[in-house]
Amino acid sequence: MAAAARIIRAVEVPVTVDFEAGYGLDVPELVAALREVGAAGCNLEDTDHATETLHNVDEHAVWLRRVREQDDTLVINARIDVFLIGSGDLDEALRRAHSYFDVGADCVYPIALSDRAALEQFVAEAGGPVNVLADAGPAAELADLGVARISYGAQLYRQTMEQFARSLSAFNA
């Protein structure tokens, strides 16, 4: 949260925080932490890190509803991990999207979904705005599919470190 606070203070645009699965905070603490740093919203994933499996969709939806009830202005980007650690089943991802929108999520994020046909179907059937990773395709093409939000995750960091390594290796040549 300290890093998020520094970023939020340094920019003049709304900032959302990748809050993973809540870092073990109960809902009031989670929302209070986001409010304290001035976050406009958060990503909240459906992975249970204790078991490295997906949370039960109904239980996770209840948790998301509690977050929404604590703050009706917070942008909730509900990350769907079906394609990351789950079965990769599109119908399961859509079921989760519908459940999360039903309880007040503003956007859903089927992380690691990059297959073009599946992504097109997901966007068409999710029931609300969809966020994808930037490596799912060029921004213009994703926008044409109806994608509402693009996340870069660690991509910019990895690209920077790869370029840095190439630059350093030139000194050893």
Which residue, 77, 139, 79, is CA-closest to 107?
77
Average pLDDT score, the chain? 94
Residue 156's pLDDT band (cuts 50, 70, 90): confident
Classified as helix, coil or strand, 37 is helix
Burial class of 43 by CB neighbour count within 10 A (0 to 12, 13 to 18, 19+):
buried
Domain range for 46 is 2-171
Residue 41's pLDDT band (cuts 50, 70, 90): very high
Give the tokens for residue 140. Answer: 């213009």
Number of domains in the chain: 1
Cβ atoms within 10 Å, residue 122: 24
Q: Does the structure show a pLDDT above 70 at 173? A: no
What is the distance of C-alpha 35 from the center of its chain? Answer: 18
pLDDT at residue 127, as a whole number: 98
CATH number, position 44? 3.20.20.60
